[in-house]
Structure formats: structure tokens, C-alpha cells
């Protein structure tokens, strides 16, 4: 193994460098052009798997950004725009600097987050885990994930809140020092997602806890989550 590593180092070939770390913001929110939308057509509403599209308007909390509506539209009357929370064009570096400054001002140099998976498919969980990798390295800004809710300034929740996890989530929230900020991450946490009508699903976080901030997406990207944390800190003042 050591010899293999030495040979790789001799090749001086890298798979990534800072210029390749830019991420796509993912698919945006579908938006209907009512001027081009044919009267009486409801194909997009019928194909929407979550019922997010009604009366020619898309609910960003319920949408899973599959863009099936755009694919089925016979006249290409559906475009896309930024997911609501992500308006703006902050780079990762600028976002990190702003986050560090806000944490110093508002949270006395550190922000502790308690994270709860309340019945997610793990897609959002993977994006949250990416926040601590070498690319995003959220901990360098004074942000850390804690095991005990009693140490948390912020509660982050993913998933539809399944029936078996309702009490666990409520107890976690009750154990957090008040006032506690709550962020719902992903379409399932925001509005129930594709499983909102399932017998074992609780329909999203706001049916069980007061939610301060929604981060729609299926799943949202790490930059969207960082932007949400920064927005939450601004509300904490």
C-alpha cells in the first residue's frame, strides 16, 4: 500500500483542485409562463408527484425539483428560477467569511448544532455530512455538531417525521436551550415531500415543531445549507 501511495505521488496527478470545487446549485424552482400556458391544459399538475403544482403556481416547500412538469409541457411554458433561499451569488469563500463574522457577533464565536434525522432517505443527510469535509470545512468558522441537545443553539431536522420519531424529535426540541432556532432541510422536512400522504409519515417538521427556516430541495446542496445557517444566525440577533 505504501509503495502504491509513493507511485501516485510521483505521478503528480490530482483529481481535484480548488478550481474544480464549484458546485451546481441543482435544479431550480419550476415557474410557469402564464402568457404561453395553454388554457385548459393541466398536464403539469397531473404529473406532479407531490401535488406541489396547483393553479399554475409551484409551492417550493412541497416541490421535489424533479422537473417532470417541464418535461411534459407541450409548449415549453415552464422555466426555472433560483430556489427561494438561494437568491444571490455569494461564492463559497465569501459565504464562509460572512458566516465567521456573524458567528463572532451573534453567537460569541461558536455555533452548536444538534442534527436530527426524523425519517429521511439519507440524501439530505449526506449533504449535511459534506459540510465537515475538507472542501466546506464548516468547523473552521466556529460551527460544530453536538451530541446533546442541551448544548445546541440550533436544531436541524431532515425527513418527514415518521410516527416512530415524533416523540424523539419533540423531546430533543424540549431539551434544547430556549430560544431554539429550527431549520427544516429538504423537501420532506419542509412539506412532507413525496411521502407526505403515507400512513407512517408525519407530514413535515412544522406539524410538530415551530420552524424558523425552510431549506427546500431534494436534496439541497451544502452551499444552500450554509446559507440557511447564516440566515438563521441573522434572525437570532
Written as tens digits, the pLDDT of the chain (237 aa) is: 566 556 555 554 444 444 444 455 567 788 888 888 888 888 999 999 888 888 888 888 888 888 899 889 989 889 888 776 544 444 555 655 665 666 656 566 678 899 999 999 999 999 999 988 888 888 887 888 999 999 888 899 999 999 999 999 999 999 998 878 888 999 899 888 888 888 888 888 989 998 888 888 888 888 888 888 877 777 655
Chain centroid to Cα 66, Å, comes to 15
Q: How many CA atoms lie within 13 A of 154 on its CB side?
A: 27
Mention every residue, 6+ apart, whose C-beta is less than 8 A from residue 136: 92, 130, 222, 226
Query: What residue segments make up the domains of the chain, in order of their start?
Result: 29-81, 92-236
The CATH class of 29-81 is alpha beta
Fold type of domain 92-236: Rossmann fold (3.40.50)
Q: Do the first three CATH levels of 29-81 and 92-236 match, i.e. the same topology?
A: no
* Residue 116 to residue 172: CA distance in whole angstroms: 8
Phi and psi, residue 66, nearest 5°: -80, -20
* Residue 43 to residue 166: CA distance in whole angstroms: 36
Going by C-alpha positions, the residue among 20, 29, 21 that lies closest to residue 48 is: 29
Q: How many CB atoms lie within 10 A of CB 121?
A: 18
Q: Residue 179, preceding bond cis, omega within 30 degrees?
A: yes
* Residue 7 to residue 4: CA distance in whole angstroms: 5
* Residue 73 to residue 61: CA distance in whole angstroms: 22
Amino acid at each position: 500500500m505504501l509503495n502504491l501511495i509513493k507511485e501516485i505521488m510521483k505521478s503528480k496527478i490530482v483529481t481535484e483542485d480548488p478550481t474544480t470545487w464549484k458546485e451546481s446549485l441543482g435544479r431550480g424552482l419550476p415557474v410557469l409562463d402564464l402568457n404561453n400556458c395553454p388554457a385548459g391544459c393541466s398536464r403539469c399538475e397531473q404529473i406532479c408527484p407531490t401535488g406541489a403544482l396547483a393553479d399554475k403556481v409551484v409551492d417550493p416547500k412541497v416541490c421535489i425539483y424533479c422537473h417532470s412538469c417541464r418535461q411534459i409541457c407541450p409548449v415549453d411554458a415552464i422555466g426555472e428560477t433560483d430556489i427561494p433561499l438561494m437568491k444571490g451569488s455569494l461564492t463559497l469563500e465569501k459565504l464562509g467569511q460572512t458566516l465567521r463574522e456573524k458567528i463572532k457577533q451573534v453567537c460569541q464565536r461558536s455555533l452548536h448544532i444538534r442534527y436530527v434525522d426524523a425519517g429521511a432517505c439519507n440524501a439530505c443527510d449526506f449533504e449535511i455530512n459534506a459540510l465537515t469535509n475538507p472542501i466546506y470545512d464548516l468547523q473552521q468558522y466556529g460551527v460544530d455538531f453536538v451530541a446533546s441537545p442541551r448544548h445546541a443553539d440550533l436544531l436541524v431536522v431532515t425527513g418527514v417525521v415518521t410516527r416512530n420519531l415524533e416523540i424523539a424529535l419533540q423531546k430533543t426540541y424540549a431539551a434544547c436551550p430556549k430560544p431554539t432556532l429550527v431549520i427544516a432541510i429538504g423537501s420532506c422536512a419542509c412539506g412532507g415531500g413525496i411521502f407526505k400522504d403515507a400512513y407512517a409519515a408525519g407530514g413535515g417538521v412544522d406539524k410538530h415543531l415551530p420552524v424558523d427556516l425552510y431549506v427546500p430541495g431534494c436534496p439541497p446542496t451544502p452551499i444552500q445549507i450554509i446559507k440557511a445557517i447564516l440566515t438563521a444566525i441573522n434572525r437570532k440577533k
